[in-house]
Amino acid sequence: MINLVGICIVIGIIVLLGALYLFLRRRRLLKQSHRELTEDNFRAHSGLGDLPLVRPISSNDSNGSRDSFHSCFGDIEDFEREVGHLQSRRSVSFKAVDLAGLRPKQPAKPKVKSQNKNKVSHYQWLQSLLDPIAQSSAAGTAKTMDTQQTASPLFVVAGACPNAFSPLQAVLYCEFKEAAKKSDRIDFWFVKPSASNKAKFEENTLHRHATGAFKNTAEKSKKVYAPIGDKFVGTRDGDFYFGTADGRAFMEEDGSARMLVYFIWMESWAGPMARKKFVQGKICYQKSKDGVVAPGFFARQYRIEDNTIWIAPASDEEVLPRSMPPDNFQDMFEMKT
């Protein structure tokens, strides 16, 4: 009888110990689950994703203190309330997390679908003219046929129709480095595709012809195109400086790399009866620093009104897939001048 009672007592003790073990283990798992849930909630609200949370460093750490705290939170108490880990109010410091790449990007500005019947793809014949310009090898390749003055192609303007009979004409701007007057340093004339092959550039129009079969002077269009060339004789307009150097036209914005212009697209302009005259489109350029041209092609919107040019900020810069952009490049957002 005694042995039976002893066995029951031992069994009872074992059952109690087992129950206590299960209770303590369950309590530990619940705490761990709560801590993980708190972290998950914090990640979900903070946008940190899978990045490790900022962990507190001991107050005796020589690398920081509460005074040297720098993090994504304005105050340590804010961090404690969000995470729920810190139970004491001791002095602590935190390692900073770089959130520059995690901040949500500004939503893209809505663009208006192009209404221009001319498309960039219609001007693929310009490629053989733009390539030497972009390669900085076009200096001295153009000339005036009447005076035999040498000129350097700088950039091409396209998009507007000069007239109904020559819808695919574009305008080539060239620099006459030896011009006596500053105002005569940059001139422009029409270039067009070959009559026999619309996909090929007419090489004769690289040069300025005052008479003959390839006459391409642009006297009647000076009011439209002259303000663009006038900027590049060495002028400042707002934050931008326009000039030429080493056979290239450039823009410089305060504190940024030099922008080497090679192509300007005219997307829209004022009608002949409009009270306010304007033209707007996009400027295509390369970037240069210390005389070295960086790879890649870029674009910004512009608007010319009353002989003043507005250019979109660097934050609105577009990266182009190639020197001749695709047709959807013509879509533009509204510029407020």
- Report pLDDT digits (tens) over 198-221: 999 999 999 999 999 999 999 888
Whether 142 and 204 have beta carbons less than 8 Å apart is answered as no
From residue 228, give the alpha-carbon distance in Å to each of 245, 277, 280, 287: 17, 14, 11, 20
DSSP-based three-state secondary structure for 251: strand
From residue 107, give the alpha-carbon distance in Å to each of 44, 104, 295, 332: 21, 9, 27, 15
- Report pLDDT digits (tens) over 121-149: 999 999 999 999 999 999 999 999 999 99
- Report pLDDT digits (tens) over 21-35: 777 777 776 666 555
- Report pLDDT digits (tens) over 283-321: 999 999 888 999 999 999 999 887 678 899 999 999 999
Quote the CA–CA distance of 262 and 173 in Å, as a whole number. 10
From residue 286, give the alpha-carbon distance in Å to each of 55, 141, 170, 251, 257: 44, 21, 20, 10, 10
With the CA atoms of 23, 27, 33 and 38 taken in that order, what torsion angle do they form, in degrees rounded to the nearest 10?
A: 160
What's the confidence (pLDDT) of residue 38? 47
